[in-house]
Structure 1
Amino acid sequence: MKLGYHLGYWSSGPPADALEVIRTAEELGFDSVWTAEGYGSDALTPLAWWGAATSRVKLGTNIVQMSARTPTAVGMTAQTLDHLSGGRFILGLGASGPQVVEGWYGQPYPRPLARTREYIDIVRKVVARKEPVTYDGDFFQLPLHGGTGLGKPLKSTLHPLREEIPIYLAAEGPKNVALSAEICDGWLPLFFSPKSDGFYRAALAEGFARPGARRTPGEFEVAASVPVIVHEDVEAAAALIKPSLALYIGGMGAKTVNFHHDVFARMGYEDVADKVQDLYLAGRKAEATAAIPTSLVEDTALIGPPEKIRDELARWEETVVTTLLLRGDAATLRAVAPILS
């Protein structure tokens, strides 16, 4: 498996050591560097700013939220970053969830899979620049229906460096995972576990089997964000990850719609996920964190002494994952790289 570095999105401000870590990742031979966005820092500006200090590593977004920008705007940005990086850009897209889509962006959330299909169709048309872009979909129309009547089909003035830029889709549910295999070049899972490999293989296989599927399994990339903490005390390492898991399981979504909660329920932790969610939504965050067993952390992360991590890595190497996306500072990357290489 290849290694990547996931910078993620910022908390209250930009991480002071981001440039050092990205340069370290490239120095260590990492394949890719990724950024993210929630409802604070965006994914594209940091990638361009810090990515300018690199020369080899691929630069990806994990993820750009589709509701934040029109598909033509994303196509323009993808072309621009691809030129600036010399053809190293990977466009990672995701639908996010209704709380962010409707609460932050003021956009409708229903039918996210159908909306995603149209969105990616348009992005590819913009990047390819074969002809003026027209589209007559349920969600997007170019030119716009019912406007002034003055809109006309346009073609990007920018000539593409590559007529096809890789597009990866962030997905957690089986239908969305299948969609990634059908229309994209890669999948960006969150909270992947080797225990769930069979479930995701089946979802991907469904997508690959659809007429007109874009890639074969051997051509398809799966870049999974996996926490890795080298520590002699497994419980201490798990304790560093549990607060983040409590946030996602308990608070990243509504009571009735939380895709992260559903991932862990499918993994066999439904009772735990329900308890964590109830506690978190009641404001009892410390108790929610304490309710997460270390076994759940170990199912979705690589933690503990180096020899333990090496042994457990074998399970990951047998999965659909092609790239492990790591988090941490420069020292963490230097410590982890020899273990995972």
Structure 2
Amino acid sequence: MRIGIHSGYWSAGPPPGIEDAIVAADALGVDSVWTAEAYGSDAFTPLAWWGSRTRRIRLGTAVAQIYARTPTATAMAALTLDHLSGGRAILGLGVSGPQVVEGWYGEPYRRPLARTREYVDIVRQVLERGAPVAYDGEFYQLPTRAEQATGLGKSLRSTVHPLRADLPIHLAAEGPKNIALAAEIADGWLPLFYTPRLDAEFREHLEAGFAARAPERSSRADFEVSATVPVVVHDDVEKAADAVRPFLALYVGGMGAKGANFHRNAIDRLGYSEAADEITELYAAGRRAEAVAAVPTALVEDIALVGPAEKIARDVEAWKGTAVTTLLVQGDATAVRTMAEILG
């Protein structure tokens, strides 16, 4: 199992010390570093900046928002980053949720799976550069056939020759159909709330996608599953769990609209519906400290690695037999170093 770093979202500014941590991780042989975006920092710029100070570590977006850019613009960013980094880019894509998509990007959140399928098709056309890009889909048409268009558009081919026509594309997915779609059309899956306890169930969803996978796609043996896993090293398990509770409370109670929170749905599937109801109610009432305190330690330990290094070394054994190929550490430099020592 490989190790990566998930740098997460920026808050008011860049994460303190992250550049030095990534440089150190590159020297340690850590496999990859990943960035996120929602409605603050973007996912590509930090990778270009941090990537300029590294030589080996792979550079992944987890995730670049599909609704934030046209497919061709995303392909341009990915192939540019791939050239600058010497072939280290991984394009991780995701659809976010209706609050962000409609509130920030100003796009209707409709049929996200179908949109994702079209999006990936177009990105691959750009990267393959076999012919001028043309597409006539429900969501994307190239050239456009919008009523207000001039009608002068023409199919174009990237002026830049992509470094890798097979630049890997990964999909962030939480629901069963989304997971299957990742296995069908992508080169990897980016799960947020993975637990070894439900590994068999996750594998079933992946198998459904592999069964529909086109023969020209990369081998399923090369398919990657890069799971974001909070890691907190501390002698006291409860105090370590306290560092993860705000993250879970936010995703359960504060991300997404009522009845349309896909992160909450994922927690329900893990078996924590009752706790999630309480967290959601407290969060909506503005009682955030109580919402954080309501996150069960059992839930934290299901999706994270917390406690003394010896306990984490024992707990990570359950992850080794799962479908996960890369464990993306969400934590400080101590967490990354501890996981590198345990799995190195």
Task: Name the TM tier (shorter chain).
Answer: over 0.9
Give yes or no for contact 2:72–2:122 (8 Å, CA) kept in 1: yes
Other-structure match for 2:151 = 149
TM-score (norm 1): 0.98
Stretches of structure 2 that go unaligned for 5 or more consecutive residues are: none
Separation of aligned partners in 2, 1:189 and 1:115:
19
Separation of aligned partners in 2, 1:196 and 1:259:
18
Separation of aligned partners in 2, 1:211 and 1:334:
37
| Paired letter, 1:97 | G
Separation of aligned partners in 2, 1:215 and 1:111:
26
Other-structure match for 2:324 = 321
Separation of aligned partners in 2, 1:114 and 1:68:
16
Other-structure match for 2:136 = 136
Other-structure match for 1:252 = 255
Separation of aligned partners in 2, 1:158 and 1:318:
41
Other-structure match for 1:268 = 271
Residues 240-269 of structure 1, C-alpha deviation per residue, up to 9 Å, x if partnerless? 110111000001011101111111111111
Residues 36-68 of structure 1, C-alpha deviation per residue, up to 9 Å, x if partnerless? 111101101111011110111111100000100
Deviation at 1:215, TM superposition (A): 4.2
Deviation at 1:217, TM superposition (A): 3.6
Stretches (4+) displaced over 3 A: none
Separation of aligned partners in 2, 1:194 and 1:265:
16
Deviation at 1:216, TM superposition (A): 4.2
Q: Given the alignment of the two structures, is residue 198 of structure 1 paired with residue 192 of structure 2, yes or no?
A: no
Other-structure match for 1:291 = 294
| Paired letter, 2:134 | T
After TM superposition, the structure 1 = structure 2 runs for residues 207-226 of structure 1, keeping only pairs within 5 Å, are: 207-212=209-214, 214-226=217-229
SS of residue matched to 1:204: helix
Deviates more, 1:214-223 or 1:88-97: 214-223
Deviation at 1:16, TM superposition (A): 2.9
Relative to 1, partners in 2 of residues 1:311 and 1:335: Cα closer, same or farther, differing over 3 Å? closer
Separation of aligned partners in 2, 1:110 and 1:199:
27
Deviation at 1:331, TM superposition (A): 3.6
Give yes or no for contact 1:208–1:215 (8 Å, CA) kept in 2: no
| Paired letter, 2:80 | T
Deviation at 1:28, TM superposition (A): 1.2
SS of residue matched to 1:11: coil
**How many corresponding residue pairs?**
341
Residues 58-110 of structure 1, C-alpha deviation per residue, up to 9 Å, x if partnerless? 11100000100000001111110110010110000000000000110001111
Paired-residue identity, %: 62
Q: Given the alignment of the two structures, is residue 179 of structure 1 paired with residue 196 of structure 2, yes or no?
A: no
TM-score (norm 2): 0.97
| Paired letter, 1:338 | E
Other-structure match for 1:63 = 63
Other-structure match for 2:168 = 166
| Paired letter, 1:179 | L
Give the root-mean-square deviation of aligned CA atoms: 1.1
Deviation at 1:332, TM superposition (A): 3.4
| Paired letter, 1:232 | D
Stretches of structure 1 that go unaligned for 5 or more consecutive residues are: none
Give yes or no for contact 1:127–1:163 (8 Å, CA) kept in 2: yes
